[in-house]
Amino acid sequence: MKNFTALLIMLFLWISVFAQSEKRPLTHNDILKWNRITETAISNNGKFIVYKQEPWKGDPVLKITTPKAEEIASFNCGTDTQITSDSKFIVFTLKPAEDTIRQLKLKKTKKEDLPVNKLVIYNPESHKTDTIEKLISVKVPEKWAGWIAWQTEAPKDTAGKGKSEKEKGKGSSDKSGEKVYPLFVQNLITSEISEFPAVSSYEFAEEKVALVFISDGKDSTFDAGVYHLNLNENKTHKILDAKGKFRQLTIDKNGENVAFLGDTLKDTKKEALNCDLFFWNKTGKAEVVVDNSNAALPENWEISENGKLSFSENGKHLFFGTAPKKAEKDTTILDEEIPVLDIWTWNEEELQSAQIVNKNRDLKKSYLAVFHIDTDKMVQLETPEFSSIRQIKKGDSEKLLAWSNHPYAVQSMWEGSPEHNDFYLIDIQTGKAEMIKKDIRATPQVSPEGKYLYWYSSADTSWITYNIENGKEFKVTGAKTVQTADELNDVPNFPDSYGFAGWTKNDESLLVYDRFDLWKVDPENLNSPVNITQNGRKKI
């Protein structure tokens, strides 16, 4: 019996060893097949959930499910999902399969002959799928529904003798070298589609049913210019009848005001744009409201094509960018005849290596300015004195927040984060800057309703608020109230905070974390902090 038992034990061990020896070791290729969720979306009515399941290498799968995880549809190579605000359509891009592209490249297939993206418009109720070939771009309104706009490659003109390959197939270029493509605007309810030629830029209004676009025109059948499209009435209004180089097309949330930068001069050989700021307010044609001769521009400055245009929430302010004029390129000298020399001194704000890496970014740097629509006045708000600037209450406030690390830049290189900053409030009517805090090791933020500035002070491990109206400052957390600093900090630097969750309605309270709980804190210490989660620390 003992011999039999020993034999069984030996047999069991031998089977175990053999089984283990048969297991295949984990390889790098196995890891590349592991899936992760890299994109999620949920419909406004809560009925549909979309997520992208993607391996580290390979094609993603787009899944459409119910909240109960019941799968409705699945699309290989789907990505970039958008759901219409009425939850009736799911819009996404189908990319070519990775292996398909690889095999074609191995066969030396020309780039212009490789398969391109497709647009899919999917109805999750009827399961109807519409597919549009050769997609370039697509936009879906976020806050209203019933419409969609997209661009595709222009159809090939097989009869077009003497035309370049660009003109026959891919999007052609306007005089500025910018690509232009046909624009299609579809009514998702009636399926009616309108087409507009040679469009370089297009934008939906945020809250109203309107669209603007810039077209390079098409012979005598469609003029070049800027257009406003009233989608409900299906009326296209030409707001600028001109050819030129246009940038930064923007429309306010109500679809009534339009702004853009334009250079309508005939000097097409000039690389840099001589930008004018155009504005249209629902009547007549777009007009130049600011040009480079404006007295509010600093000396030797100009309107920058790289500055972002935006309307304030109430539509009274139009923000844009300016920058110092750049020296024109000397066309009488060859590039190889220009000596290249990098010079750096110890007291510069950036290391030489960082300056080289950031060169292109710095060449496109612009500074915030504003055009007051009601008073027809421009004010320069930002100068090189500041490191950054931020609007308050989406541009509706009469103040802006700015801060500057420049006086401490060299010091910060040795000390590390958090950086030293001076805080400023800038008057939007005059451009005058007032320093409100000096040498603070933090970056300031603004509450949603614009009542307070706030920051985490690493030096004394506290959250600080600042009432913008009366200039009063409050330490709202601390070691004796709420310990928001990292209790496990083990590096020779100030501890970070555990983070910030946001503000309650009307800036009544701010929400901060300690190690275990979430706290509601009064921004002026009128009430004691309230532990919302209550038992996080107690349960440890």
Residue 37 has pLDDT above 70, yes or no: yes
Residue 368: which pLDDT band, with cuts at 50, 70 and 90? very high
Nearest to 214 by CA among 205, 201, 228: 201
Residue 349: which pLDDT band, with cuts at 50, 70 and 90? confident
Domains of the chain plus CATH, in order, are 200-327+356-380 (2.130.10.120), 388-442 (no CATH), 447-540 (no CATH)
d(CA 144, CA 205): 9
Dihedral class, residue 394 (left if φ above 0, else alpha if ψ from -120 to 50, else beta): left
- Contact criterion met (CB below 8 Å) for 468 and 451: yes
The 10s digit of each residue's pLDDT in 445-459 is 999 999 999 999 998
The 10s digit of each residue's pLDDT in 70-83 is 999 999 999 999 99
The 10s digit of each residue's pLDDT in 471-515 is 999 999 998 899 999 999 998 889 999 999 999 999 999 999 999
pTM, full prediction: 0.86
Residue 160: which pLDDT band, with cuts at 50, 70 and 90? very low
pLDDT of amino acid 537: 83
Q: Give the C-alpha distances (Å, rounded to integers) separating 279 from 126, 395, 489.
A: 43, 18, 53
Residue 271 has pLDDT above 70, yes or no: no
Q: Give the C-alpha distances (Å, rounded to integers) separating 142 from 54, 129, 146, 192, 378.
A: 25, 21, 11, 20, 31
